[in-house]
Structure 1
């Protein structure tokens, strides 16, 4: 049953991508709160479309960096791809608390960018399909606690959740999404 639900979610995103008429790279953003299932859906769509999936987790400069990840996402990933140039970004090393060596991605027909903040207003001019993944708080919390990286995330959960709440209230990312997926 859960697999069928994922297949239906993936089909919705793929249909939206196929309906997009843009030439060059089509950017699909997948946003939502932590634990909503953004990565799972983005990875499944990427697999189905043979499209790369980039994560904002590589751009957040630490646990207080949700908003700070958006300008690099625009400058290093979205704008270059829209202009037909390779994306080039410097991932955040969470252990060293510093940027690491550059990664690069040549333009492809579709690129998915997932993570809290991916539906940002600043990214919208470069976004073909903005997806919001909706999930109730209790389910999100249960999923987060089941993740293998929970012990490292747990001490920062409240701090990160406060940023998410403020960010999504200000940016109204759910309201501005092209496609809302309810993920149970």
Structure 2
């Protein structure tokens, strides 16, 4: 039988890891769209008392590959943190279609990165979480959130995700595999 995730226990595990990006422990919560990454990352961030950088805060057109956003987070967040200084970025507002407020990313014991391709092979990670759920459930969640009119884009995006994850080997390198289809509010280790 699989184990339910204890966020305080997971936070305790992360806190004792060596830093991976300057003085910061970078933790990625990755997996395909609609799998439950954002909810998982939010709960872990509360347990850790840390900031979350969401890949969705960086605009990636539907016709770009899932990993296209990462160069900006490297330049604006990870490089400054690796040098021991704060990072930051301008969050993209998808509803208005413009860049919105500036988000400070201070030097802290832990930084969570959440979203598709955050646990990439080249990221300076202390720990990687992979969240997955059945494709049909993920598509239903995405369409409930974004609207049925975006279904063609979501099918194309899911194919692009599949290609990215296969090429990067993301799931196989994760430190923790999580079932994002479990009872709402619970996460179960696979």
Decide whether the 8 Å contact of 2:26 with 2:110 is kept in 1: yes
- Verify: 1:55 aligned to 2:54, yes or no: yes
Q: Quick one: distance in 2 between partners of 1:87 and 1:64?
A: 28
Quick one: distance in 1 between partners of 2:136 and 2:63?
23
Classify the secondary structure of the residue corresponding to 1:122: coil
Q: CA deviation at 1:183?
A: 2.3
Q: How many residues align?
A: 177
Matches within 5 A, 1:1-184: 8=5, 10-11=7-8, 13-22=10-19, 24-65=23-64, 66-94=66-94, 99-100=99-100, 102-123=102-123, 126-147=124-145, 149-151=146-148, 153-184=150-181
**Could you report, residue by residue, the CA deviation over 1:99-153 in whole angstroms, capped at 9, with x for unpaired residues?**
4564322111111110001011221xx2111111122222222322332x33464
Q: Which has a greater percent of helix?
A: 1
Number of the residue aligned with 2:188:
none
State the distance in 1 between where 2:96 and 2:67 align: 20
**Which segments of structure 1 move beyond 6 Å, counting only runs of 4 or more?**
none
Distance 1:180 1:75, change over 3 A: same
C-alpha distance in structure 1 between counterparts of 2:141 and 2:3, whole Å: 16
Task: Give the alignment's TM-score, normalised by structure 2.
Answer: 0.80
Give the match's secondary structure for 1:29: strand
Q: CA deviation at 1:63?
A: 2.0
8 Å CA contact 2:24–2:108 kept in 1: the answer is yes
- Kindly indicate whether the alpha-carbon contact (under 8 Å) linking 1:70 and 1:122 is maintained by their aligned counterparts in 2: no
> For the structure 1 residues 16 and 181, does the alpha-carbon distance in structure 2 shift closer, same or farther, using more than 3 Å as the test?
farther
* TM-score normalised according to structure 1 size: 0.82
Q: Is the 8 A contact 1:9 1:41 kept in 2?
A: no
Unmatched 5+ stretches in structure 1: none
Kindly indicate whether the alpha-carbon contact (under 8 Å) linking 1:61 and 1:97 is maintained by their aligned counterparts in 2.
Answer: no
Aligned to 1:28, the other structure's residue is in SS state strand
Give the CA RMSD over aligned residues. 2.5
